[in-house]
Structure 1
Amino acid sequence: MMRDGYYLSSYLTIPGLHRLAMVSYRHDNNISLWRKDGSQVQLLGHWEFERMTGLKHHRTPFLSMEDLRDFVNGLIGAFGVSLDDMTEVWGTPGLATTNDYHFVEEYPELSFHSIAHLYSAMLLDSEIFFDGDILALAVDGGPDRLLDQQYKRFWFTGAVSRRGVVETFPVASPGLLYSTAKDRFKMREGTLMALATATTAAGRCDRQAILDTYDFTGLAALEGAPKAFEEIVAQVKESADVDPAFTEEESFVSAAMKEIQAISVMAMERNIETALERFDLDPATTHLALAGGYALNCPTNSHLMAKYGFRGFLAPPCVDDGGQSVGIGLAAFHKKTGGERFTFRFPGAYLGRQDDDLDGALAEFGDYVADVSDLDEDQAVRDILAEPIAWFHGRSEIGPRALGNRSLIGDPTSRAAKDALNQFKLREWWRPVAPVVLEEHLDDWFEDSRPSPYMLETFTIREERRDQIQAVAHLDYSARVQSLNAGQNPALHRLLTAFHRHTGVPMLCNTSLNDKGEPIIDTIREAMNFCLRRRISVGYFNGRRVAFHNFDAYPAQGPYPRTRELFVEIPESRARAVHAELNPYGLPELYLHVLFLDLALSGKFDLRTEEGAAEAYEAVDSRLRADPSLRQAAERSMRRAEHRFTTFGPDALLNLELGAVRQITAPDRNQ
């Protein structure tokens, strides 16, 4: 029987030599704290490390296990507990206290990474899971290998859960096609999705042929996605027209992304139709659960819900790898309780850190503060109608999208507000911003709408309302909607209600409070720094109105520093100490890089022994001798990884040297 107590699930990179060798298997590192009491399971907190470090998609390892443990204890200490108080710890080798929580052996051909994604969505509500039918799809860009220790045959996984009995099957994911587009066009996926709908430019390609020719289920997608992309681009280039409001390049990218989006939707439809037929599912009585990075594609999510008429939609706000520890935890509870019923309901998005040190921030930024007063919603509405404001309240939301506690808020009826928000964020002029909408008024403003608390669906603005809220409308009059009721976020609900009372419009523009290439802001000091650099006149912080002035005198040019010293600034003495403990026979870091990336090889040797170190050296050296280009590939891989480990801002979004990584891991891939 599973014991009561606290549990920690984690999705972290291995510390120690991996940091010095520039090797990380996981990005979007995160942890989740749970409490089990009888049949009740609670998710108490969820922390994404990028929020604390400022390293976008945080993947940087700690230099030591002691550093990792201290950092984790600092987070969970908000609940008066430490790692020593955990009944069990799951998810990260070296930190985990047991190895019976996952499904690595149970699914020999399926990535456990994908299984964890499935559980993060389909077990959001135990009543639905144990009493109903769910069709779940985990559609990502690719798995980590840390628990599987190899690339498994199928990377992307679907599941059908009937009253808590789960049956899995492989599926295709459009994620790698989008990742390839990001790499080639040098724009992030969200920007590409927005640009696709921002222009009238269009082209043609043989969508069905692309889908029939290329395999997007596993390793084959590594080669297939780039080839499919090139074929799409070549065909679109021959047929694309230009939107005169955009450059030729923007028009071409938009036309190509329209085709990529259409092919991606077709792939998802094929997944669903195959599963509906195979398992004899009735969508009207079945919930659709989606997870993995591609599940951030709001137009796809809404299209699938509308086309098939599913009973409901399940997805966490941290639907990408930032939610892996949630999925690892829910999978562990399901396995370790022997499939018996337990009670769990996802508590909502506001599970991150809380910063209550407004007084300390005011003291630090006092020279730039004109006035401080209590929140008055009517005054806040007047502020919003004048210009966008910063809104900081309570615990931070989780996931990659602002959901109202770390937000820039603006007037949805004003094009000027949209332009100002894009200028604050250094975004393209054509980018629309998302609306946060009073849930009870959704249907009055959007067609075929339903509650969308985590901004994971797109709805069409009703024709008679379109002229009123141009700031949140895409070219096709769709909007990426966050719905809100009073129980989810009382403070923001009161602000929305006041804005509705003053204007007749039950929504506000809501975009994330962060700089370009920076994770969402996590502390009041970070938010004040942003306001002063972007000349934002008013910010609201935990129920207090702060008016700023003296902008010209503010000296800072970049984001407020976050927790960097554990990751970026490594003293030589500490590096030597780690080598002395874990690599006493001095394998070069280049050799360590090759060794650790090849998981099939690295587990064979104990580098702390002379014999193990000598065997590891010979194993790597023989590979370098056999393939003269491997050394250069490893050097490129290390340089790019170091850049990703230590760089802040837009430059940090450059991709890993995937060609070099694939060359190094080739033997593992062939297993």
Structure 2
Amino acid sequence: MNILGLSVATTEHHAAALVQNGRLVAAAEEERFNRIKHYGAFPRGPLSNANLLNDASLTLRDVLCKQAIRWVLTVSQLTENEIDIIAINGVPAKYRSGSLQNADPQSFVPVRDGRYLFVPHHLCHAASAYRLSGFSEARVLTVDGRGERETAACFDATATGILTRRHEVAVRDRHSFGGLYETTSRMLGMGAFGQGTVMALAALGKPGFSLNDSVWARSFDDVNLDVVALQQLLMNVARTESEPLLEIHRDVAYAVQHALEEAILVLGTQTMTKGAGMPLCLAGGVALNCPTNTRLFRQLQPAGMFVQPAAHDAGTAIGAALEAAFQLGEPRPERMQHAAWGPTIDAEECAAALTRHGLALHLPNDPAGEVAQRLADGAIVCRAVGRMEIGPRALGQRSILADPRRAELKDRLNYMKSRASWRPFGPSILAGRESEWFEDAFVSPFMLFTQNVLPPRRSEIPVVVHADGSTRPQSVERHILPDYAAILDAFNDLTGVPMVVNTSFNRGGEPIVCTPEDAVVSFLGLGADCLQLGPFFVDRTRR
């Protein structure tokens, strides 16, 4: 059975995914094709932020992510008529007359209309994590800006595969977990999508700034997320992007991050009630907050924990398709071990793009060795090989790599990518070597947890150590990403360090590169030293 999953019901991170016979085979975000970062359709409607979930006048044709859909069908050699089910990441307003008002969390279920299956938004998030976790039973916590009526929900997942919603936090106006961080980002001059910057800034702050009880949680039924009060409070310290970043702004970020962690910890604790010794799955945009994920992992101590790399709305395309597959009796998918579900780099397209831009076609005998040597020499290497990852983290297939030992490279990387000079970078490290460098280390394949660098080793890898001594590593398994692991092996042989700096391959304000042409244009614009593009290697420092 062919099931097309679409993230189109909300207003950002639109995406398409294909599940065949229960297995995920393709997934990509629309932004990678149209080159509009965070893309989501904003159709005309009576609401300024109209979408399928809040405007009954809108139809699917108003919001379709056409380029992502076209790619999914093309790569799978399918026509639209060969798609059996189209699963959507939300229940449109016109289908929800009664269910939205019913306070029983279990009353909100998917709606079937012909070959369309509309899956409640937070159920899509839950399915995107649990159904790819490899866990038989689990507890699932989803937290984001908003779904049809909620900003957070928890689910029980049983061995039968059924996801049962137990509790939810209702949205009132703009009061939501996602709204909390977005408001803070705007007020601190970092824009609507500066949540990652605020999260990083929090590590530079200290306790002391009071949020005046505008954010707290005692249970799913007793939560205060007063975004309006928070915005009024922050008016006195608001800044524009061009204004200096002061100590008070760092303290605001610290206070908001701390309040978020405390609230999510309450919800996580309730999610795990009667679930001692069980695994925990996380999803929703807030599950991209690495310090919060780590705190849940450390304090709740679940039997295992899984966060899939597209935890934001793009991942609900996958979740919608997987939930539809389950309900139709399709086989269970395997545990997700990588994020590379997008378009692949084609060698002929690489050659054409390099030639168009006047770059030589060099085929190295030992690609991993050449990349590692240039990294050890201090070069910054852009890498676009294999299939593109889904989600905001580049995990080796569309990455910019550097030597973590060279402190001066941090400023150069941040300048190249138009990022604040204090923002941290994370490393990709050979799996199995984490305990040599991190405290209480564990395997983290998707860069979604923080780990503290061992104090004696922090001076050895300054580029990837944040102000609080933490880093956000990606563990690279040789059997999952063999070509990328080969670079790490070669770099370790040269330097004794089994990791490299890894940041996403894109310029500031742009999506991660998708095609060879994107990669060459970005490489030249960034001013990086080397480019590994498919089978080719370009070194601009050697004439």
Please give the TM-score of this superposition, normalised by the length of structure 1.
0.68
Identify the match of residue 510 of structure 1 among 496, 502, 512: 502
Deviation at 1:485, TM superposition (A): 0.5
Structure 2 residue 193 is matched with structure 1 residue 203: no
Per the alignment, residue 480 of structure 1 pairs with 472
Query: Structure 1: which amino acid aligns with 2:141?
Result: L
Per the alignment, residue 135 of structure 1 pairs with 139
Per the alignment, residue 288 of structure 1 pairs with 280
Q: What secondary structure, in the 3-state scheme, does the structure 2 residue paired with 1:262 have?
A: helix
Q: What secondary structure, in the 3-state scheme, does the structure 2 residue paired with 1:249 have?
A: coil
Q: Is 2:530–2:537's contact at 8 Å kept on the other side of the alignment?
A: yes
Q: How does 1:116-135 map to 2 (within 5 A)?
A: 116-126=124-134, 128-129=135-136, 132=137, 134-135=138-139
Deviation at 1:508, TM superposition (A): 0.4
Per the alignment, residue 160 of structure 1 pairs with 156
Distance 2:223 2:321 in 1: 27
Query: Structure 2: which amino acid aligns with 1:189?
Result: Q
Per the alignment, residue 257 of structure 2 pairs with 261
Deviation at 1:200, TM superposition (A): 5.2
Query: Structure 2: which amino acid aligns with 1:80?
Result: Q
Deviation at 1:211, TM superposition (A): 4.0
Query: Structure 1: which amino acid aligns with 2:208?
Result: G
Deviation at 1:483, TM superposition (A): 0.8
Distance 1:503 1:550 in 2: 22
Query: Structure 1: which amino acid aligns with 2:7?
Result: Y
Structure 2 residue 74 is matched with structure 1 residue 80: no
Q: What secondary structure, in the 3-state scheme, does the structure 1 residue paired with 2:279 have?
A: strand
Deviation at 1:168, TM superposition (A): 1.5
- The structure with the largest helix share of the pair is 1
| CA deviations over 1:54-81 (Å, ceiling 9, x no partner) | 1111113799689966762343211222
Deviation at 1:248, TM superposition (A): 6.3
Distance 1:202 1:387, change over 3 A: farther
Query: Structure 2: which amino acid aligns with 1:142?
Result: R
Q: Is 1:391–1:539's contact at 8 Å kept on the other side of the alignment?
A: yes
Distance 1:342 1:527, change over 3 A: closer
| CA deviations over 1:372-399 (Å, ceiling 9, x no partner) | 5444333322211322111111000110
Deviation at 1:550, TM superposition (A): 11
Distance 2:479 2:86 in 1: 31
Identify the match of residue 189 of structure 2 among 186, 191, 194: 186
Q: What secondary structure, in the 3-state scheme, does the structure 1 residue paired with 2:389 have?
A: coil
Q: Is 2:284–2:311's contact at 8 Å kept on the other side of the alignment?
A: yes
Query: Structure 2: which amino acid aligns with 1:205?
Result: S
Q: How does 1:162-561 map to 2 (within 5 A)?
A: 162-163=158-159, 164-172=161-169, 174-187=177-190, 188-197=194-203, 199=204, 201-205=206-210, 209-212=213-216, 221=225, 224-231=226-233, 249-277=245-273, 280-282=274-276, 285-337=277-329, 342-346=332-336, 348-356=338-346, 357-366=349-358, 368-369=359-360, 373-385=364-376, 386-548=378-540
Deviation at 1:315, TM superposition (A): 1.4
Per the alignment, residue 31 of structure 2 pairs with 50
| CA deviations over 1:260-283 (Å, ceiling 9, x no partner) | 111111101111222334xx221x
- The structure with the largest strand share of the pair is 2
Distance 2:220 2:185 in 1: 17
Distance 1:506 1:538 in 2: 20
| CA deviations over 1:212-271 (Å, ceiling 9, x no partner) | 5899989984xx22313544787xx7xxxxxxxxx9633221111111111111101111
| CA deviations over 1:65-101 (Å, ceiling 9, x no partner) | 8996676234321122222222222217999xxx9xx
Q: How does 1:56-95 map to 2 (within 5 A)?
A: 56-60=37-41, 72-91=69-88
Q: Is 1:155–1:217's contact at 8 Å kept on the other side of the alignment?
A: no
Distance 1:288 1:232, change over 3 A: farther
Distance 1:342 1:66 in 2: 30
Deviation at 1:544, TM superposition (A): 2.1
Query: Which ranges in structure 2 are unaligned for 5 or more consecutive residues?
Result: 44-59, 110-118, 170-175, 238-242
Distance 2:536 2:140 in 1: 42
Distance 1:66 1:324, change over 3 A: closer
Greater mean alpha carbon deviation, residues 292-301 or residues 209-218? 209-218
Q: Is 1:433–1:472's contact at 8 Å kept on the other side of the alignment?
A: yes
Identify the match of residue 11 of structure 2 among 3, 26, 31: 26
Number of aligned residue pairs: give it: 492
Query: Structure 2: which amino acid aligns with 1:81?
Result: L
Distance 1:93 1:259 in 2: 32
Distance 2:402 2:284 in 1: 30
Q: What secondary structure, in the 3-state scheme, does the structure 2 residue paired with 1:76 have?
A: helix
Greater mean alpha carbon deviation, residues 70-79 or residues 505-514? 70-79
Deviation at 1:401, TM superposition (A): 1.0
Query: Structure 1: which amino acid aligns with 2:23?
Result: Q
Distance 1:250 1:405, change over 3 A: farther
Query: Structure 1: which amino acid aligns with 2:390?
Result: I
Deviation at 1:517, TM superposition (A): 1.1
Q: What secondary structure, in the 3-state scheme, does the structure 2 residue paired with 1:353 have?
A: strand
Distance 1:157 1:289, change over 3 A: same
Q: Is 2:108–2:120's contact at 8 Å kept on the other side of the alignment?
A: no
Q: What secondary structure, in the 3-state scheme, does the structure 1 residue paired with 2:210 have?
A: coil
Distance 1:64 1:411 in 2: 47
Distance 1:363 1:183, change over 3 A: same
Q: What secondary structure, in the 3-state scheme, does the structure 2 residue paired with 1:286 have?
A: coil
Query: Structure 2: which amino acid aligns with 1:83?
Result: E
Distance 1:297 1:70 in 2: 29
Deviation at 1:347, TM superposition (A): 5.0
User: Once the two structures are aligned, what percentage of the paired residues are identical?
Assistant: 26
Q: What secondary structure, in the 3-state scheme, does the structure 1 residue paired with 2:298 have?
A: helix
Q: Is 2:142–2:284's contact at 8 Å kept on the other side of the alignment?
A: yes
Q: What secondary structure, in the 3-state scheme, does the structure 2 residue paired with 1:7 have?
A: strand
